[in-house]
Amino acid sequence: MATLRPIIYNLHRLIDRCTSPSPTGVDRVDLHYARFILQEAPKREVYFIRQRQNVSYILPFKEAATLITNLDKRWLQGIKFAQKALSTKYDYLSHWPSKHLRQQTERLVDPRLHKCLANSIQSPIYIHSGHGTLHHLDLHIQIKQQLAADMVYYLHDLIPIEFPEYTNNPNAVAMHQRRLQTMATTGSLILANSEDSRKKFLDYCSNHRLPQPNTDVLLIGVEQTFINAANAPQQALPVRFTSLVNSVYFITIGTIEARKNHLSLLHLWRQLAEELGDQCPKLVIVGKRGWKADHIFHLLDSSPALKKTVIEVQDANDQEMLSLTQHACALLFPSFAEGWGMPLAEALTLKTPAICSDLPALRECGRNHCIYLNPIDSLSWKMAILSALNNEIPRKNTYLPDTWDRHLHKLNTHLLSLETGN
């Protein structure tokens, strides 16, 4: 049997996010990829790396495996325990002299990685699914050239370039442009989360005279717990949400930031509270407070009507989010921009009606199972919410979610193609 190529996986995002109580969509993809790579270890050489700016370091395999396993337990299985940060101030300072020296001498790839791969029969495959550190083009050029690596990247969106007003970093546009340059100039394969993202990437490359590497769409999967729950009796709400047991409520899922358009929902909920009084449904916001949303936070903290009708849940695990979504009248998803729609796919899998923005990526995700509205058409949103409140939006049983098994099988097929050069 032929020897499989070594894999280098960039674990930096998960290291950086490891103490977060719940994952973002990008975190979730990164974790599934990390788990898949960890399972590859018995079959081939696997190396996990982290970055200090543009300098890479091998992470001890056991440390990487423990991190991935712990995140799986906390984020996906809902087992609550404290996760110690892998990055401390002392740890960072201890790396500083060697990082500075390696930057000065342009030795950005960990010398230990060169040593580990010296006796490998085949060159490695490098995989990066977390976006974050891809703006360090020089490191990725060295990985490609010095290790003769095939570079595989997962593309989540082009939102920082399309909508810079929604970013939380003044350098976000330049950084994302650099990420796309890294993907285009070093990538052997770009995997996109939607056809919309894939097309936008190729258009960007064409417009900026960048190479157009091989691309494919690997749709984000719905967690198996959601798929299993869809075919089982409805679960009870967790104990900490007992106040919702006899309540009628809608749910919206996502970090509270300007792009997610919570502001429209909150203004609408103030109207509903005034018009419906005690009959006003509650709005459950699942997601932590983010950036460029101080006006939203002020509304949440200051409006008497919203204090009575809006509930924030900032630390829900998958099991809690599943139960909350199952019992909701509908999912509300009024975003201005999305690369995909993970909460939308999860809600439709659970047969929960969904009202969402009319965006190409959400159309791909929700297909013909949603009510699609202009995100700034408040009157249409109000009418749709009232329809759901009166049970006029049916719960459909025909949504077939994409699965992580299918996604990872397709990823493995691509890796085997890289093995043979096909």
Please provide the average confidence, as pLDDT, over all residues in the chain: 92
Identify the band that residue 90 occupies on the pLDDT scale cut at 50, 70 and 90.
very low
Which segments of 6-88 does DSSP mark as H helices, in order? 12-16, 25-40, 61-71
pLDDT at position 21: 83
CA-based nearest residue to 272, from 312, 221, 306, 226: 306
Environment class of 381 (CB within 10 Å of its CB; exposed 0-12, middle 13-18, buried 19+): buried
Give the DSSP H/E element, type plus range, for residue 153. strand 150-155
Question: Could you tell me which residue, 125 or 234, shows the higher pLDDT?
Answer: 125
Residue 80's pLDDT is 78
Amino acid at 370: C
Span 182-186, average pLDDT: 98
Alpha-carbon distances of 1 from 4, 43, 258, 259, rounded to whole Å: 9, 11, 53, 50
Provide the 8-state DSSP code for 277: G
pLDDT higher than threshold 60 for residue 93: no
Alpha carbon distance 363, 87 (integer Å): 39
Residue 331 has pLDDT above 70, yes or no: yes
Block residue for tokens 């297909």: 367
| Cα–Cα distance, 326 to 226 (Å, whole number) | 10
Decide if pLDDT at 212 tops 80. yes
- pLDDT band of residue 1 (cuts 50, 70, 90) is very low
- Over residues 248-259, the mean pLDDT reads 96
Q: Given a cut of 90, is residue 76 above it in pLDDT?
A: no
Distances (CA, A) of 346 to 233, 322, 404: 16, 8, 13
Contact 417, 216 (CB under 8 A): no
Contact 153, 18 (CB under 8 A): no
**In Å, what is the CA distance from 400 to each residue of 11, 143, 229, 230, 331?**
31, 39, 14, 11, 17
Confidence of residue 326 (pLDDT cuts 50, 70, 90): very high
pLDDT exceeds 90 at position 70: yes
Q: Are 400 and 365 in contact (CB under 8 A)?
A: no
Q: Which residue type is seen at 158?
A: L
